[in-house]
Amino acid sequence: MTGDTMREIAIIGDRFMLPEVFREKIEAATDAPLHIRTMQQAWPDEPMEHGYAAPGMEGLKEYFGRPEEVLAFIGDAEILVTQLAPLSASMMERLPRLKLVAVSRGGPVNVDMAAARRYGITVVNTPGRNAAAVAEFTIGAILAETRLIRLGHEELRRGTWRGDLYRADRTGRELSEMTVGVIGYGNIGTKVVRLLRAFGARILVNDPYVQLSPEDRDAGVTLTSLDEVLSESDIVTMHPRVTGETRGMIDAAALAKMKPGTIFVNTARGPLVDYDALYDALASGHLGGAMLETFAVEPVPSDWPLLRLPNVTLTPHIAGASVRTVTFAAEQAAEEVRLYLAGKGPKNPC
C-alpha cells in the first residue's frame, strides 16, 4: 500500500469504552489518511456472552455482540479496534483483509488467539489499563471493612444508630497496626502495595514469578511464601491472574490457614476462590469479613448464599471502571494503530 492509500478502521465500542473516544485518540495519534466507522454496543447494560455456551465460539472466553452483525460491520476493514466484539475462527475466515485487532483489555478474551495466528492477524491488548482504578478500589474495599464503613452504613439505613461501634472491643483498626497480605504482584498488585505503604501497614507479598521493586524492598515490604501470607495477615487481598496454578487457590485449606478474624478481599477474578468454602469460613465466624467484587458466575444468582451474609460487602465487578480507564485504554490502542500504520512492530502483542 502507498502512503496515500485510505486505511479502513472499524471501531466497535460500547457504553464504557466509547467508540468516539477511540476515534478521537486514533485521529490524534496519526495523520495517515483514514476511513473510520464506529459502532456502539449495549454492554454493560446487557451482559456478556461466554464462548463455551455458544456453538462456533469455543475459542473465546467472553464477548459481546452477534457474530453476523459484527462481521457485516467489520467488512473489508484492515484494522479492528474494540473491547468486547467477538472474533472466532469462523469469523476470521470471512475477514481476509483484517490484519490488526486492538483489544482494549488486559487480555484478548474475546478473540480466538490460535485462529488469529493461523490467519496472520496481529492482536494487541492494553495491559494495565485499569490497574490504578482497581488499586484505588481495593484500598476503598479494605477501608470499608476495617473501619466498619459498610456495617455503619447498613445499620443507619435500617434506622439503628450504632454508637456501640465506638467501643474499644467493637471498633475498627487502623492499617498502620495491621499486616496486609497481597497475593499477586503484577500491574495491580504493585500499585496496591504502593498505596498501602502510605498507610504504614506491614505488607507481605506472595508471587513466585517476580522480585520486589527496590522502592518496595527498601520500604520494608516482604516477599514470602503463600503459607506465611495466609497465616500472618490481618487482611488478604487477591491480585493474580487466573491460571491453572491459581484457579481455586483460595480453597477450604487456604482459608483454614488464615487467622481468626481475617478480612478477605477479592477484586481480581472469581475463579481464584472456592466460594462454597468461603461461605463456610464467613458463616462460621472464622473470617471477620469479606469484600467481593468479582465472581465465578456473573451476574450472581439472586438466591446466592453469600448475598445473605451480614459480614460481606459485594459490588458488581466495577473496580476497573473509571473515566481514566476509558481514555488510557483508548490511548494505548491508538498507539498500537499508529505503530502499525507506520510499519512498525506492536508494543503489546498478545
Catalytic residues: 269, 298, 317
Dihedral sign (CA 149, 155, 161, 163): negative
Strands 287-292, 262-266: pairing is parallel
3-class DSSP assignment, residue 54:
coil
Measure Cα distances from 221 to 43, 194, 284 in Å: 39, 10, 32
Query: What does the block give as the cell for 142?
Result: 479494605
Cα separation, 110 vs 77, in Å, equals 18
What count of residues does the chain have? 350
Strand order in the sheet with 262-266: 222-223, 202-206, 179-183, 235-238, 262-266, 287-292, 312-314
Measure Cα distances from 3 to 27, 32, 102, 334, 342 in Å: 16, 8, 21, 18, 9
Q: Within a 13 Å sphere around the CA of 341, how many CA atoms are in the beta-carbon half?
A: 26
Distance between the two ends of the chain, CA-based, in angstroms? 25
Sequence-distant (6+) residues with CB within 8 A of 345 are: 339
